[in-house]
């Protein structure tokens, strides 16, 4: 009888220890995030086991106008190198966070994280800056062997990172030079996953993956939606920049700019199984923006994407061969480099203005200038295949444009098995110039003799 009691007590203590270590069993297990069906060409680096007894729950401040950034920094420093940091309450960040020291740590977000929007100019002055396209960010997360995840089975408002973008969207209507932070930056990250999280209302882009390698993003829910009908600018889903071996997959994005954009020096990237609504497409670029800089985008595979109510779908955008002005705080052209070995495969187009867009005149309405100063950057070995669905009536019967600025700037661009219909029911046509037309399974027509529409670049 005593033996049974001791056995029962031991079992109870073991159960208690497990529950205590896991925050009363409310902490979800780390998802097994695996690229599928394609990977970026190599296996992820091994991840060291986490200490089951090292959990740091981030403290929440007591006041409405608080800044929880010091609590976040403290928890991540305490549980770095083998522990798990838990965000299970509501947090407000009011100062920038440089978290590029992370190593062998899990970050679990079951609560909500928001950024103080009471003074948009505070963030203009205090955010981390990137010289590339005058970007900035609230916080930078970097290091190695980091897993960031939440639980999408929780109700809306949980497992969420919220940029409170409305204040910035309103302010930029009258101050177009306002610098608006990116919601999240993975910068200098090696061997990381991010999954099962919601992201809401970024002031600018949702994400930048910069100076990083071996990254998997999966099962994310991104939405930029104004409560007041305010125009939402530049809400890119993910932008890769100077990064290698990245997979972005199995996610939903409702935004107003590129769903995914491959910025300069993005290599070995797979984007697959996404649903994108309201965007500017899955875009290579823009690239070739800065004179005396070389941009390389190489080895991309974009697979099984649904795109709805977008300006473009499969898109490559290159600046012309001379620097020109485009928007406030944004000018470019004259850079060198190349786009090479890019495949778009199995794309479902639903009411997008164009199914295919290739331009080397990005940011410039004057077509004559682009012809006079062809892009310095070349586009080689691109395949766009198995694209089906519909376009909008905006350019009917045109369903896309494939325009290179000189005969020697584009080579081996292949378009195959395109079954995209236009609303009028007429045979769809595509503007083509300086292409190898025998590699295009399309009906090509000449460009109209008019300035380009640069409203979307």
What pLDDT digit, counting tens, does each position of 402-414 carry?
999 999 999 999 9
Lowest mean pLDDT among 147-151, 290-294, 362-366, 388-392: 362-366
What's the rounded mean pLDDT across residues 243-260? 98
Q: Number of H helices and number of E strands within the chain?
A: 5, 28
**pLDDT score of 257:** 98
- The DSSP code for 183 is S
What's the rounded mean pLDDT across residues 383-391? 98
What's the rounded mean pLDDT across residues 123-132? 97
Greater model confidence, 363 or 189: 189
Greater model confidence, 175 or 448: 175
CA 313 vs CA 81, 149, 322, 432: distances in Å: 42, 29, 26, 17
In which element (H, E) is residue 2 found?
helix 2-21
Euclidean distance between CA atoms 186 and 115, whole angstroms = 17
**pLDDT score of 306:** 98
- Percent of the residues in the chain that have a pLDDT greater than 70, as a whole number: 91
Bond from prior residue into 148 cis (ω within 30 degrees of 0): no
Lowest mean pLDDT among 1-10, 74-83, 131-140: 1-10
Is pLDDT of 38 > 90? yes
Quick one: tokens of 20? 């205590």
Is pLDDT of 5 > 70? no
In which element (H, E) is residue 14 found?
helix 2-21
Catalytic site residues?
A: 257, 280
Is pLDDT of 451 > 80? no
Quick one: tokens of 297? 């985008």
Half-sphere exposure of 335 (CA within 13 A, CB side): 24
**pLDDT score of 331:** 75
- Which of 408, 383, 426, 400 shows the shortest CA–CA distance to 321? 408
Euclidean distance between CA atoms 371 and 406, whole angstroms = 7
Euclidean distance between CA atoms 124 and 202, whole angstroms = 14
For 271-303, the pLDDT digits (tens) are 999 999 999 999 999 999 999 999 999 999 999
- Which of 62, 28, 37 shows the shortest CA–CA distance to 195? 28
Is pLDDT of 6 > 50? no
**pLDDT score of 7:** 41
- The DSSP code for 27 is S
Quick one: tokens of 296? 């390389």
**Taking a C-beta distance cutoff of 8 angstroms, is the pair 392, 352 a contact?**
yes
Euclidean distance between CA atoms 163 and 235, whole angstroms = 11
**pLDDT score of 14:** 37
For 193-209, the pLDDT digits (tens) are 999 999 999 999 999 99
What's the rounded mean pLDDT across residues 249-257? 98
**pLDDT score of 21:** 41
**Taking a C-beta distance cutoff of 8 angstroms, is the pair 232, 203 a contact?**
no
What's the rounded mean pLDDT across residues 27-36? 96
Euclidean distance between CA atoms 47 and 50, whole angstroms = 9
Greater model confidence, 452 or 6: 452
Euclidean distance between CA atoms 195 and 186, whole angstroms = 13
Is pLDDT of 154 > 70? yes
**Taking a C-beta distance cutoff of 8 angstroms, is the pair 277, 225 a contact?**
no
* Band (366; pLDDT cuts 50, 70, 90): confident
For 413-439, the pLDDT digits (tens) are 999 999 999 999 999 999 999 999 999
What's the rounded mean pLDDT across residues 1-11? 38
Half-sphere exposure of 319 (CA within 13 A, CB side): 26
**pLDDT score of 437:** 96
For 42-97, the pLDDT digits (tens) are 999 999 999 999 999 999 998 888 999 999 999 999 999 999 999 999 999 999 99
**pLDDT score of 250:** 98
Is pLDDT of 30 > 60? yes
**pLDDT score of 368:** 85
In which element (H, E) is residue 10 found?
helix 2-21
**pLDDT score of 8:** 41
Return the exposure string of 355-390: e unless at least 16 CB atoms fall within 10 Å of the residue's CB, then b. Answer: bbbbbbbbbbeebeebeebbbbbbbebbbbbbbebb
Is pLDDT of 115 > 50? yes
Is pLDDT of 111 > 90? yes
What's the rounded mean pLDDT across residues 204-227? 98
Strand partners, 298: 267, 340
CA 238 to chain CA centroid, nearest Å: 0
**pLDDT score of 367:** 82
- Which of 229, 231, 227, 240 shows the shortest CA–CA distance to 266? 240
Euclidean distance between CA atoms 117 and 96, whole angstroms = 13
**pLDDT score of 447:** 72
**pLDDT score of 240:** 98
For 315-357, the pLDDT digits (tens) are 999 999 998 777 666 678 999 999 999 999 999 999 999 999 9
List CB contacts of 449: < 8 A, sequence separation 6 or more: none
Mean pLDDT value across the chain: 92
């Amino acid at each position: 009888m005593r033996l049974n009691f001791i056995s029962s007590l031991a079992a109870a203590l073991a159960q208690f220890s497990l529950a205590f270590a896991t925050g009363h069993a409310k902490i979800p297990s780390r998802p097994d995030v695996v690229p599928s069906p394609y990977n970026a060409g190599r296996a992820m680096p091994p991840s060291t086991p986490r200490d089951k007894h090292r959990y740091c729950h981030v403290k929440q401040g007591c006041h409405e106008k608080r800044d929880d950034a010091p609590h976040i920094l403290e928890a991540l420093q305490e549980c770095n190198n083998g522990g798990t940091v838990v965000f299970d309450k509501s947090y407000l960040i009011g100062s920038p966070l440089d978290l590029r020291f992370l190593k062998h740590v899990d970050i679990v977000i079951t609560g909500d994280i928001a950024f103080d929007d009471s003074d948009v100019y505070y963030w203009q002055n205090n955010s981390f800056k990137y010289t590339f396209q005058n970007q900035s960010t609230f916080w930078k997360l970097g290091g190695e062997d980091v897993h960031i995840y939440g639980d999408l089975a929780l109700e809306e408002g949980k497992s969420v990172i919220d940029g409170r973008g409305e204040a910035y969207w309103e302010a930029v209507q009258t101050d177009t030079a306002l610098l608006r932070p990116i919601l999240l930056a993975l910068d200098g990250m090696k061997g990381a996953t991010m999954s099962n999280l919601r992201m809401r209302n970024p002031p600018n882009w949702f994400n930048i993956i910069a100076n990083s390698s071996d990254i998997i993003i999966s099962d994310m829910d991104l939405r930029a939606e104004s409560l007041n009908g305010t125009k939402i600018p530049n809400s890119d889903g993910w932008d890769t920049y100077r990064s290698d071996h990245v997979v972005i997959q199995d996610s939903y994005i409702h935004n107003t700019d590129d769903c995914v954009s491959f910025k300069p020096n993005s290599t070995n990237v797979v984007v697959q199984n996404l649903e994108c609504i309201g965007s500017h497409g899955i875009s290579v670029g823009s690239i070739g923006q800065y004179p005396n800089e070389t941009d390389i985008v190489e080895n991309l595979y974009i697979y099984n994407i649904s795109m709805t109510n977008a300006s473009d779908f499969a898109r490559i955008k290159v600046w012309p061969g001379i620097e020109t002005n485009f928007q406030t705080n944004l000018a470019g052209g004259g850079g060198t480099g190349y786009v090479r070995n890019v495949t778009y495969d199995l794309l479902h187009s639903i009411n997008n203005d164009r199914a295919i867009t290739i331009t080397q005149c990005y940011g410039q309405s004057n077509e004559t200038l682009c012809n006079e100063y062809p892009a310095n950057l070349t586009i080689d070995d691109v395949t766009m295949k198995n694209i089906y669905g519909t376009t909008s009536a905006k350019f009917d019967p045109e369903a896309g444009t494939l325009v290179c600025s000189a005969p020697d700037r584009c080579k081996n661009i292949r378009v195959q098995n395109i079954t995209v219909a236009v609303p009028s029911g007429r045979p769809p046509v595509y503007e083509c110039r300086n292409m190898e037309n025998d590699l295009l399974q399309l009906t090509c027509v000449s460009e109209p003799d008019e300035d380009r529409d640069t409203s979307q670049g």
